[in-house]
């Protein structure tokens, strides 16, 4: 399942930015600070509980309430979304080429460095013996 709707995205962004688990009241305050139209406590709680059911948030008891926290980092989530998007394409080459054309040159350079680092064989791995 994906994160859908502006309130789900706002809740995830607020929790990622917080860097720590939040109670609904604190989460609501952060979400409403950025919103044009404030959301009610029960609305934020309902949507947060849906995100728990979808696996995007964890919920742990804290006295008479619950603390909510993301199950993955923002970076892990974005990478997963990109991987899922590419999985639906039979020939990934054109999609990857188009992506490369649209990203900022600095981001393209970082991606190139990461790909180059990934392709370097590990120094810890012994060379394969090709003799049989």
Range with lowest mean pLDDT among 5-19, 29-43, 54-68, 89-103: 89-103
The predicted model gives 10-38 an average pLDDT of: 96
pLDDT digits (tens, 9 = 90+) for 72-117: 999 999 999 889 889 988 898 998 899 889 999 999 999 989 888 8
Could you give the C-alpha distances from 42 to 28, 70, 72, 101, 120, in angstroms and in order? 9, 19, 24, 43, 51
pTM of the model: 0.78
Checking if the pLDDT of 1 tops 80, the result is no
């Amino acid at each position: 399942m994906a994160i859908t709707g502006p309130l789900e995205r706002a809740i995830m962004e607020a929790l990622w930015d917080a860097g720590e688990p939040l109670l609904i009241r604190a989460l609501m305050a952060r979400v409403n600070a950025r919103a044009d139209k404030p959301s009610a406590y029960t609305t934020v709680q309902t949507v947060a509980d849906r995100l728990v059911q979808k696996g995007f948030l964890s919920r742990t008891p804290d006295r008479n309430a619950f603390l909510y926290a993301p199950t993955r980092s923002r970076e892990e989530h974005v990478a997963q979304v990109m991987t899922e998007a590419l999985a639906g394409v039979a020939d990934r080459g054109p999609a990857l080429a188009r992506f490369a054309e649209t990203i900022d040159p600095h981001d393209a350079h970082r991606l190139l460095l990461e790909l180059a680092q990934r392709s370097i064989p590990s120094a810890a791995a012994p060379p394969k013996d090709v003799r049989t």
